[in-house]
């Protein structure tokens, strides 16, 4: 099925919400890359050597999140929840046959991508 197939005529507000959801998710993932591994202060650890390899799993001490980091994470999560609810409960889904909803949802996730030639 080509991108943004005419089989599913998505309303603009649903398309906009899906794009915002994707962008917010990407921004959160980028932000989270620089966070400590634990939200709360935790001591580091090192495991025993893995069987049949020399790999030893370990984590350094985690200082935990700062108040600003915790607030940022809370804002990201609240926005992601809001956008997820907007997309998943949009009235458009009532107009799609039950058997076509998975295909429509997958098409929506890719609707912002350029059409293939």
pLDDT tens digits for range 4-36: 445 799 999 999 999 999 999 999 999 999 999
Cα 65 to Cα 35, 45, 71, 79, 114: the distances in Å are 7, 18, 9, 19, 39
Domain limits, the chain: 12-38+66-110
CA 41, CA 75: separation in Å to the nearest integer?
A: 21
Read off the pLDDT of residues 33-86 as tens digits, 9 standing for 90 and up: 999 999 999 999 998 887 888 888 899 999 999 999 999 999 999 999 999 999
Burial of 41 (0-12, 13-18, 19+ CB in 10 A): exposed
Q: Are 16 and 108 in contact (CB under 8 A)?
A: no
């Amino acid at each position: 099925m080509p991108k943004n197939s005419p089989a599913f005529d998505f309303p603009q507000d649903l398309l906009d919400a899906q794009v915002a959801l994707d962008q917010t998710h990407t921004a959160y993932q980028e932000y989270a890359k620089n966070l400590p591994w634990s939200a709360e202060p935790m001591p580091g650890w090192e495991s025993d050597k893995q069987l049949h390899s020399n790999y030893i799993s370990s984590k350094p001490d985690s200082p935990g999140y700062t108040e600003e980091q915790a607030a940022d994470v809370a804002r990201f999560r609240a926005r992601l929840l809001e956008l997820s609810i907007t997309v998943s409960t949009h009235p458009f889904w009532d107009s799609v046959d039950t058997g076509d909803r998975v295909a429509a949802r997958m098409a929506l996730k890719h609707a912002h991508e350029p059409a293939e030639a």
